[in-house]
Amino acid sequence: MTTRRSLMDRLIQRYQPRPVTDFAPPPLEVAPGLWTLERRLRMPAGPRLPTLTTIVRLASGGVLVVSPPAVACGGLAALDALGRVEEVLVPNSFHYVNAPAFLARHPGATLRVPPAFSERVAGFPGGTPLDDAPVAAWRGAVEHAILGPVRGLAEVALFHVPSASLLLTDVAFNLVHIERGVDRLVWRLSGIPSTFGPSRTARTFLLADRGRAAAFLRRVLAWPFRRVLVAHGEPVEHDARCAFERAFASYLGAPR
């Protein structure tokens, strides 16, 4: 298992997505105390993938940055203006590539990572692994739930309490509007659905243990969320709970 994980990380490092450096808009306020920062990645062979960083205001007045953005793109002064970066979360076993440079820019921030992350990603700067216990620094702002580790992979879902927003990373996509036809073709062929839901990769890896997946999804449904933000794609603003139940019906049972 360790050998397979090491090989996966070698491939990620060698063929990792490259940021589109001429696309660096400022953060967009989704709700009071909650922002998204959009960037684009150029994947191997050329297709582009939108990716979102989420920024959360903490009770301290500082901010939590989820899925740190690429420093090479620039355009981070507007993020800095939102408050001191106190917390950085690598939310799953893949969204870590930008973290070292971002942490070097914000050396006082606390880095948090999913469980078993250090075993999977050799040589990564040390971070505090999350468990099921509440994070004191996040109290009143976000709660979290952990999927996995499954086959060495894990993902952290967050619930932004003040805005009733669910934050997901790779367990679900919502690539509804794709500008370039070639990108649309590539993502559909690769198993990313045309509506909100898990990709083929998520079903194969993150959701492979159906029992643990169901427990995680039920934990998420216990939150009274009204909006879903995903790392790749558009937010789900209408009937978010119904969309979530439909997307994961095969794990949860028949949709309502």
How many whole angstroms separate alpha carbon 2 and alpha carbon 22?
38
What is the number of H-type helices and E-type strands within the chain? 9, 12
Question: What's the mean pLDDT in 6-17?
Answer: 50
Question: What's the mean pLDDT in 167-178?
Answer: 88
Provide the CATH number for the domain around residue 126: 3.60.15.10
User: Where in the sequence is the domain holding 71, given as residue range(s)?
Assistant: 2-252
DSSP assignment letter at 72: G
Give the strand pairing for 110-113 and 128-129.
Answer: parallel
252, two tokens: 């949860």
**pLDDT confidence of residue 19:** 80
**pLDDT confidence of residue 4:** 45
pLDDT single digits (tens) 231-247: 999 999 999 999 999 99
What is the total count of domains within the chain?
1
Higher pLDDT, 41 or 237: 237
**pLDDT confidence of residue 226:** 98
pLDDT single digits (tens) 178-193: 666 666 566 566 767 7
**pLDDT confidence of residue 178:** 62
Q: What is the residue-averaged pLDDT of the chain?
A: 87
- Burial zone of 238 (CB within 10 Å; 0-12 exposed, 13-18 middle, 19+ buried): exposed
**pLDDT confidence of residue 124:** 81
Helix axes 210-221, 240-247, angle to 10 degrees: 170
| 149: preceding bond cis by omega (within 30 degrees) | yes
Residues 6+ apart with CB under 8 A from 122: 6, 9
How many whole angstroms separate alpha carbon 250 and alpha carbon 55?
32
Higher pLDDT, 128 or 123: 128
What three-state secondary structure class fits 252?
helix
